[in-house]
Amino acid sequence: METKDEAVRLTSLVKTSGCAAKLAPSLLRSVLDELPKFEPDGRLLVGFESADDALVYKIDERTGMIQTVDFFPPMVDDPFVFGQVAAANALSDIYAMGGTPAVAMNLLCFPSCLDISVMQRILEGGYSKVKEAGAIVAGGHTIADPTPKYGLCVTGFADPTRVWRNTGARPGDVLVLTKPLGAGILNTAIKADMASDDAKQAVIGWMTTLNRAAKEAAEGLDVHACTDITGFGLLGHGLEMAQGSSVTLVIDSTEVPLMPDVLELASMGIIPEGMYNNRDFAGPHVRFDPSVPQNLIDVLYDPQTSGGLLLSMAADEADIYERRMPSAVRIGRVEGATVPRTAAQEKVHVRVL
């Protein structure tokens, strides 16, 4: 007898998947910019003004509370793996702020066409990653919805004087990336049944890997700025870091690590809709060397799901970090802000060599 979960593939119920389902960053920013402003609160150390990964609220001189929320539609058909990826992605925002996750709450949208066992497996996958993070799940909220979605609201803690932000990159820093790019393209290929087994295993392996080790490898080091690379892609999140820090990021495209088969798939046009949104958002502020091929440009804009950390730090600190974190790759440097030649030109915040 065929059960509901055997009859319906999770990815068949969604148009966009993972972090590629995010709203276009330019649209989101236009809305946020028009919202009324709250009265300043001296305890709110980080809000949404700098497009950082999470809020930070000062409890006392030694305790800063970090909060984030993230959920999205499935990018894989295995419900347990979907739960793992969604949880790893939500937990990542805490790590990107230099914090330690403590407690999480589920956010789940579930369609009636799926067997209830699918819900259980999604939640079990999420629980497994929260447990791996050393945190606990303490409730949540569930609604009926034709499109399945899952994620977490996560609370973590850090020393308020040592919180990482995406606004502190300094000229002379080097840029270090801890996971390869290509998740959005590979997830699109998997949905179209065009991804190799090696590529499937690679992208699932990276998406289910917590950024806990990447954060812990930086303990005791002076991290000037950090963000995780998710739905806005390397160039979108890099642009937010550059603008928030009033600097220019210079990225060596030949050093950027990539997942298997990604360039070939991009050349075939197997790219998610989110890539175009990211290009529209960041494109006016990015300049590419003519030697950078189009398929690689597409990968640099590719929306990542549960991507790695992008850290800005001094070169000697990066040497130590790379020895501690085997997957970390130095992909560029930080320079002073580039001034446009004329008032009509957009300021270049990211250069890609």
**Euclidean distance between CA atoms 23 and 31, whole angstroms:** 11
Q: How many CB atoms are located within 10 Å of the residue 323 CB?
A: 10
> What tokens appear for 62 in the block?
């030694």
Find the helix packing angle between 197-207 and 79-96, rounded to 10°: 50
226 among known catalytic residues: no
Rounded-to-integer distance, Cα 167 and Cα 164, Å: 9
Within the chain, what is the greatest distance between any pair of CA atoms?
70
Alpha helical stretches, state H, the chain = 4-7, 25-32, 79-96, 116-132, 183-191, 197-207, 212-216, 233-245, 262-267, 273-282, 294-301, 315-324
What are the DSSP calls for 164-223, one per residue?
--SS---TT-EEEE-S-B-HHHHHHHHHTT---HHHHHHHHHHHTS-SHHHHHTTTTS-E
Structure tokens at 314: 């001094």
Residues 294 and 351: their CA atoms lie apart, in Å, by: 15
On whether the CB atoms of residues 337 and 349 are closer than 8 A, the answer is: yes
3-state secondary structure of 107: strand
SS3 helix, strand, coil % of the chain, rounded to 5? 40, 25, 40
Are residues 267 and 293 in contact, defined by beta-carbon separation less than 8 angstroms?
Answer: no
The C-alpha angle with vertex 205 and arms to 145 and 327, in degrees rounded to 5, equals 130
The residues annotated as belonging to the active site are 19
